[in-house]
């Protein structure tokens, strides 16, 4: 059991120990803070004191390629020249005189249709003569006189009653009712009948079908 005089001495000793401990902690904190500050300053100085090294310059052509915008591809326009269609330069007979002969345009249509089936020029001229006689070279001409056995249409008066336009027959691919507004179709039908039958269907008293 301690006496009353020893208590103040014991408290003083403990206070002194606490002060020494606090002083040591302050000194250590100061040392650490100084070290951190010195390290940051060193790092800062090191970062800004490094030598600057410049790389080689970028080639100009590389820069140009990087920013170059290629032009749109050029389009090549090919022009196809279509040769002019052949025209008829021979006679255009007028069987009944006046305007019964073919116009140049109709003569060209009939001539081209005949040439397409291999007809010679003399046969073209003969067909123009027949067309002038049969219709006055009018693709809209129609003879519907049943007393004469006719239901005949167009340039060369192709007779529906003759059976040429029936399925499987010579002119099955042609429509006589379109001749009025399609003279080229009409001319092709005339030439098709000629190619199979010659001029027989237009010879009075014959009307036969014999290859030319």
Q: Spell 73-107 as b/e; 16+ CB within 10 A means b.
A: eeeeeeeeeeeeeeebeeebbbeeeeebbbeeebb
pLDDT of residue 77: 81
Q: Which residue has the higher pLDDT, 54 or 87?
A: 87
Predicted local distance difference test score (pLDDT) of residue 139: 97
Q: Is 159 in a helix, a strand, or coil? A: strand
Q: Model confidence over 103-120: pLDDT tens digits?
A: 999 999 999 999 999 999
Q: What is the mean pLDDT of the chain?
A: 82
pLDDT value of residue 43: 45
Average pLDDT over residues 35-45: 52
What's the pLDDT tens digit per position in 44-75? 344 444 454 445 555 555 555 555 667 777 77
pLDDT of residue 42: 43
Span 172-191, average pLDDT: 98
- Residue 84 above 80 pLDDT? yes
Q: List, edge to edge, every strand of the sheet that includes 152-153.
A: 142-143, 152-153, 158-159
Position with higher pLDDT, 78 vs 36 = 78
pTM of this structure: 0.62
Instruction: Give 11-25 pLDDT, tens digit per residue.
Output: 666 656 676 767 667
């Amino acid at each position: 059991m301690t006496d009353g005089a020893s208590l103040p001495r014991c408290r003083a000793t403990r206070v002194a120990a606490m002060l020494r401990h606090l002083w040591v902690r302050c000194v250590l904190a100061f040392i650490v803070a100084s070290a951190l500050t010195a390290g940051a300053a060193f790092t800062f100085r090191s970062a800004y004191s490094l030598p600057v090294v410049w790389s080689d310059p970028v080639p100009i052509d590389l820069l140009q390629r990087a920013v170059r915008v290629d032009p749109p591809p050029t389009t090549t326009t090919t022009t196809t020249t279509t040769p002019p269609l052949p025209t008829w330069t021979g006679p255009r007979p007028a069987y009944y005189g006046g305007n019964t002969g073919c116009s140049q345009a109709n003569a060209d249509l009939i001539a081209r249709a005949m040439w397409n089936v291999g007809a010679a020029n003399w046969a073209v001229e003969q067909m123009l003569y027949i067309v002038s006689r049969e219709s006055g070279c009018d693709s809209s001409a129609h003879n519907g006189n049943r007393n004469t056995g006719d239901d005949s249409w167009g340039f060369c008066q192709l007779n529906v009653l003759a059976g040429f336009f029936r399925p499987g027959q010579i002119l099955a691919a042609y429509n006589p009712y379109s001749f009025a507004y399609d003279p080229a179709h009409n001319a092709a039908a005339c030439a098709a009948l000629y190619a199979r039958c010659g001029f027989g269907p237009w010879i009075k008293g014959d009307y036969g079908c014999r290859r030319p």
